[in-house]
Homo-oligomer: A and B are copies of this chain.
Amino acid sequence: VSFFASRWIEAPAGATEAQGGLPRGFRGAGVAAGIKESGLPDVGLIVCDAAGVTSAARFTRSGTQSAPVLVNRERVALNAIRAVVVNSGNANAATGEPGMHDAAEMQRLAAGAAGLSDPSAVAVASTGVIGVPLPMEPLQAGIEAAGAALRSDGERDFAEAIRTTDQFAKQVCLDVELSQGTVRLCAQAKGAGMISPGFATLLCFIQTDARLSPETCELLLTVTVKRSFERMSVDGQLSTSDTVILQCSGESGVEIHQETDDELRFGEALDAVLRQLALAIARDGEGARRVGRVVVRGGDESGVARVARAVANSPLVKTALYGGDPNWGRIIQAVGMALPGTAPLPVDIAIEGVSVCSGGAYVPHDAQALKTAVQREEVEYEIDLPGEGFETELYFSDLGHEYITINADYTT
């Protein structure tokens, strides 16, 4: 099965899926350090051996950012990240000054394990329980073990080590043909598995051996994150720990200049990878049964964005998706909630291409055919608001019994 499994994501032109192996200049590892009670892998390390590395990073906007996020912001050269160290099982969030000290120590230990003299070249990430001190003793042993285990094909071990309750690891390696040669693009993500007593955290790490200036790196990551991880909702909850990092070793010798066809092609590959990962995360969200895609068009950019968010976050829409119920009354309710004071609003709604509401009023349609269409694994909702010129999309998971079981029945 192709990585690009969704009908909503076009496989990028000139890109082929590779069997594995990190891009030239990278090594990776994942080990079990005993931070997770399960004994599963919980410490991951990615190291770029090229001194000329360029990078870019994105973090959660939360007002209660975890200690690793704060340390990255304060103590890392974000455009030249050589190594990334990650632990799962403990988020090091709401841990105060001791937590900041632990995150900085984690950074220092990883620099040592990676053979780097400057800790500011190491980014840190943690995911798991909130409000519990990081167990530094097993973590130290784990980081040392990961350093010893670094391999050029360590990306699968790394992807396993960053999982929490994800049902499956999420990673891909692509070869992308550019005008001057072929570059490799790898990405590993963990998603919206819910961790007791924590919550959804998005982590994604991307490596390539293409050579990009820090500015190009920053630009491409900004644009593609906006179109992927900022266009998805599992339960509308912003994490304390979300982190996305792109590292470029340049070791392929293939340089990507701004505003070239190569930049476009590489950008399209990166875009498709991040969008498919976002979809995979929504699919994996709390044992989700189905994933929805809402497309909203209209003349007011802010209104279009608010409507998409309101539909994707509505527990009523999500439970209908779970139930395989073409309940468009809940769609129009969410639209109205997102646009207060605009009644009467001539909104059009289509589900799986079937028009159900036009000008704000119901449209007679084949209810049985629609009911069959929404039983599929992917369900599309289209909403047209007054005016033209803006369009947005959002992927979202359903809300079912598994979400309740994971988040309520298994308590601390």
**Which residues of A does B touch, CB under 8 Å?**
60-65, 69-70, 91, 93-99, 129-132, 194, 197-199, 235-240, 313-316, 319-320, 322-330, 332-345, 347, 356-357, 359-362, 367, 371, 399-401, 403-404, 407-412
A373 → B minimal CB distance (Å): 14
Q: Is the interface of A mostly helix, strand, loop or mixed?
A: loop
In the docked arrangement, what's the CA distance between A320 and B406, Å?
Answer: 10
In the docked arrangement, what's the CA distance between A314 and B409, Å?
Answer: 17
Tell me the number of copies of this protein.
2
On chain B, the residues within 8 Å of A335 by CB distance are 63-64
Contact B329 A131 (CB under 8 A): yes
Known: A94-B362, A96-B360. A344 touches B409 (CB 8 A): no
Contact A362 B316 (CB under 8 A): no
A21 → B minimal CB distance (Å): 36
Partner of A320, one of B314, B328, B407: B407
On chain B, the residues within 8 Å of A65 by CB distance are 336, 343-344
On chain B, the residues within 8 Å of A371 by CB distance are 412
Known: A94-B361, A316-B235. A64 touches B408 (CB 8 A): no
In the docked arrangement, what's the CA distance between A316 and B130, Å?
Answer: 13
On chain B, the residues within 8 Å of A407 by CB distance are 315-316, 319-320, 323
Known: A96-B360, A326-B412, A407-B316. A62 touches B237 (CB 8 A): no
On chain B, the residues within 8 Å of A403 by CB distance are 315, 319, 404
Contact A324 B361 (CB under 8 A): no
On chain B, the residues within 8 Å of A410 by CB distance are 323
Partner of A361, one of B69, B96, B129, B198: B96
Contact B324 A64 (CB under 8 A): no
In the docked arrangement, what's the CA distance between A359 and B235, Å?
Answer: 27
CB<8 Å pairs between A and B, sample of 21? A62-B333, A62-B336, A62-B340, A63-B345, A64-B332, A64-B333, A64-B336, A64-B345, A64-B347, A93-B329, A96-B360, A131-B356, A194-B316, A199-B316, A235-B315, A235-B316, A237-B337, A319-B403, A319-B407, A320-B408, A403-B404
In the docked arrangement, what's the CA distance between A131 and B328, Å?
Answer: 8
In the docked arrangement, what's the CA distance between A408 and B99, Å?
Answer: 42
On chain B, the residues within 8 Å of A343 by CB distance are 62-65, 69-70
Interface centre among A131, A319, A333, A347 (most CB of B within 10 A): A333
In the docked arrangement, what's the CA distance between A347 and B323, Å?
Answer: 39
A195 → B minimal CB distance (Å): 10
Known: A199-B316, A323-B407, A403-B315. A340 touches B94 (CB 8 A): no
